[in-house]
């Protein structure tokens, strides 16, 4: 399997779908929003973008299955699966906050082979394939080399439906607010992971996420020289709903802190 070629073809598909999302945003209004569950919003843009991706990726790899946020494919899981979030950061998109992205990965089981995150506000396409490095608009990227927590910028995502661990989460925030350059909440986990991969953030953590939020970003961080674990320091991060990613140094600090609170 030529992963570099698949990556290039995936990138072309994502850019085309990205142009559709950008065009729809120009005339978008809040009355086109539906509520899936508590604080989980969806629009026709999410659904149509996913349909476009599924259609084109089916042509690229007819044998592959799909794991998608909006369930637009009737194709079950297979040996190889496309893991798709057609619009990560839907709430930002709806409110015209310009941080939202398309996230697509190809995985064999839990082994992620190809990934791409297209941040639409700045048209930044982050790409990676296994053992091929990580790239931003065709240029190689690497994680930050910072080892001192006090000099870092850390990203997170606020809980938006699972509030049972809120106290532990707030305690972690309190510590990091006092011991880092600051915290950022972008509203798109895929973008957070991509920013770790290119060194803008030294680390990222969140709970309550899904595979489509994370799959492409996981590969980006790893191929850029970083590290990814779950809140227990183990490898159950793709489907386990908790994640810590970092530059190989700061993620260890985050893990120690999170273990002390969760």
CB 161 within 8 A of CB 38: yes
pLDDT band for position 36 (50/70/90)? confident
pTM exceeds cut of 0.85: yes
pLDDT band for position 38 (50/70/90)? low
pLDDT digits (tens, 9 = 90+) for 132-152: 999 999 999 999 999 999 999
With the CA atoms of 204, 207, 209 and 211 taken in that order, what torsion angle do they form, in degrees rounded to the nearest 10?
Answer: 70
Reduce the secondary structure of the chain to three states and give it as a string: CCHHHHHHHHHHHHHHHHHHHHHHHCCCCHHHEEEEECCEEEEHHHHHHHHHHHHHHHHHCCCCEEEECCCCCCCCCCCEEEEEEEEECHHHHHCCCCCCEEEEEEEECCEEEEEEEEECCCCEEEEEECCCCEEECCEEECCCCCCCHHHCEEEECCCCCCCCCHHHHHHHHHHHHHHCCEEECCCCHHHHHHHHHCCCCCEEEEECCCHHHHHHHHHHHHHCCCEEECCCCCCCCCCCCEEEEECCCHHHHHHHHHHHHC
Q: How many CB atoms lie within 10 A of CB 153?
A: 17
Asked whether residue 39 carries a pLDDT value surpassing 70, the answer given is: no
pLDDT digits (tens, 9 = 90+) for 8-32: 999 999 999 999 999 999 989 888 7
- Domains of the chain: residue spans and CATH: 3-141 (3.30.540.10), 149-261 (3.40.190.80)
């Amino acid at each position: 399997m030529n992963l570099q070629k698949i990556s290039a073809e995936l990138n072309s598909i994502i850019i085309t779908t990205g142009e559709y999302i950008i065009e729809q945003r120009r005339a978008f209004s809040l009355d086109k929003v539906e509520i899936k569950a508590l604080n989980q919003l969806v629009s026709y843009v999410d659904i149509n973008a996913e349909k476009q991706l599924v259609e084109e990726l089916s042509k690229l790899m007819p044998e592959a299955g799909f794991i998608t946020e909006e369930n637009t494919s009737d194709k079950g899981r297979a040996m190889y699966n496309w893991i798709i979030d057609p619009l990560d950061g839907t709430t930002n998109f709806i409110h015209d906050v310009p941080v939202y992205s398309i996230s697509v990965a190809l995985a064999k089981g839990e082994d992620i082979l190809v990934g791409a995150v297209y941040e639409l506000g700045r048209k930044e396409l982050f790409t990676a394939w296994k053992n091929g490095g990580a790239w931003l608009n065709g240029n190689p990227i690497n994680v930050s080399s910072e080892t001192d927590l006090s000099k870092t910028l850390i990203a997170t995502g606020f809980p938006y439906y699972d509030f049972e661990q809120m106290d532990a989460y707030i305690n972690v925030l309190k510590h990091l607010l006092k011991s880092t350059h600051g915290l950022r909440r972008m509203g798109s986990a895929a973008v957070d992971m991509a920013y770790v991969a290119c060194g803008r953030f030294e680390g990222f953590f969140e709970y309550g996420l899904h595979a489509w939020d994370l799959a492409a970003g996981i590969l980006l961080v790893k191929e850029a020289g970083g590290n990814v674990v779950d809140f227990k320091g183990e490898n159950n991060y793709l489907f386990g709903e908790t994640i810590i990613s970092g530059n190989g140094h700061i993620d260890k600090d985050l893990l120690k802190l999170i273990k002390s609170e969760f």
